């Protein structure tokens, strides 16, 4: 319905069941229907495993559309995207609510843990997934105060000030901020902004769990982020190398820690 409001007409729409035992069969059926319908741009809203089967099946059926990513869970990570058919994924682009990457020894959850504890986390390959929820919970637990109630949590979330805008961090807020359609408010999702990304199958580097390889997501314009209504008019900048970045070796200058910043001793 929302796509129709913007003049987007879908030639075909298909669902699938996330079942490893039937996923390949589903992929064959979905791809055949997309090809038969003459679909030239496939809009993906999937789990991070299914695109592997969909893309390899598309190549098997000699079907080469554009792949438009929508920020669905982990599809926009380099770690998963390297497992997809690279001939297909060379035509992947779209939006991501993930922040522009920085070498994880320099910024982000991994470096935060190592800074505080003096050593890398034991869950070094999954900390990026498991850390945000407890981080959010305990941050707002402090805001709730000594009388912990569901109403208190809701008030703390909804009255909180949106986090600062940055290239390497998402802007977070909850409640009725007035930036989403009324059907989506109050906002319980948190992340308010996105970046434009595209897949570069030839870029070497480390993925999110420090596995070296080839193929990286690139963030347009250095990772500039947009809230609803802020995306500039005109064609997207997908596949434009100029101004794009795959990963920052350190925080951008405007997001560096102050020069006099001193970490806590190891172990807190």
Query: Does 1 score more than 60 pLDDT?
Result: no
Which residue would you say has higher pLDDT here, 179 or 30?
30
pLDDT number for residue 111: 85
The percent of residues above 70 in pLDDT, for the chain, comes to: 96
pLDDT number for residue 114: 86
- Mean of the per-residue pLDDT values of the chain: 91
Which distant-in-sequence residues (6+ apart) come within 8 Å of 227 by Cβ? Answer: 171, 179, 192, 193
- Structural domains of the chain sorted by starting position, each given as residue range(s) with its CATH number in brackets: 2-102+193-255 (3.40.50), 109-184 (no CATH)
- Tokens, residue 32: 């055949």
pLDDT number for residue 22: 93
- Tokens, residue 174: 């909850």
Predicted confidence band at 261 (pLDDT cuts at 50, 70, 90)? low
pLDDT digits (tens, 9 = 90+) for 141-150: 999 999 999 9
- Count of CB atoms within 10 A of residue 1's CB? 5
Query: Does 265 score more than 60 pLDDT?
Result: no
Can you tell me the mean pLDDT for 84-112? Answer: 92
Alpha carbons 116 and 192: distance in angstroms, whole number: 28
pTM of the entire structure? 0.88
pLDDT digits (tens, 9 = 90+) for 146-185: 999 999 999 999 998 888 889 998 999 999 888 888 888 8
Which strands make up the sheet holding 66-69, listed edge to edge? 41-44, 66-69, 92-96, 195-206, 212-219
Residue-wise burial string across 117-139, b where 16 or more C-beta atoms lie within 10 A, e elsewhere: eeeebeeeeebbeebeeeeeeee
């Amino acid at each position: 319905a929302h796509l129709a409001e913007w003049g987007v007409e879908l030639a075909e729409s298909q669902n699938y069941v996330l079942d490893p035992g039937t996923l390949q069969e589903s992929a064959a059926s979905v791809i055949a229907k997309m090809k038969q319908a003459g679909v030239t741009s496939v809009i993906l809203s999937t789990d991070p495993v299914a695109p592997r089967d969909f893309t390899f099946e598309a190549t098997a059926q000699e079907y080469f559309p554009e792949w438009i990513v929508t920020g669905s869970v982990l599809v926009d990570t380099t770690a998963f995207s390297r497992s997809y058919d690279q001939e297909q994924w060379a035509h992947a682009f779209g939006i991501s609510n993930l922040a522009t990457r920085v070498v994880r020894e320099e910024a982000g959850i991994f470096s935060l843990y190592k800074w505080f504890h003096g050593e890398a986390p034991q869950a070094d390959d999954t900390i990026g997934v498991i850390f945000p929820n407890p981080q959010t919970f305990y941050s707002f637990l402090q805001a709730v105060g000594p009388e912990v109630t569901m109403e208190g949590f809701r008030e703390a979330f909804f009255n909180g000030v949106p986090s600062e805008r940055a290239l390497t961090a998402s802007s977070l807020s909850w409640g009725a901020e007035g930036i989403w359609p009324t059907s989506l408010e109050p906002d319980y999702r948190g992340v308010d902004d996105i970046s434009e990304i595209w897949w570069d199958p030839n870029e070497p580097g480390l993925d999110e769990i420090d596995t070296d390889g080839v193929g990286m997501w690139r963030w347009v314009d250095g990772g500039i982020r947009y809230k609803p209504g802020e995306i500039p008019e005109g064609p997207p900048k997908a596949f434009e190398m100029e101004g794009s970045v795959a990963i920052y070796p350190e925080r951008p200058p405007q997001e560096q820690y102050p020069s006099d910043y001193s970490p806590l001793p190891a172990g807190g």
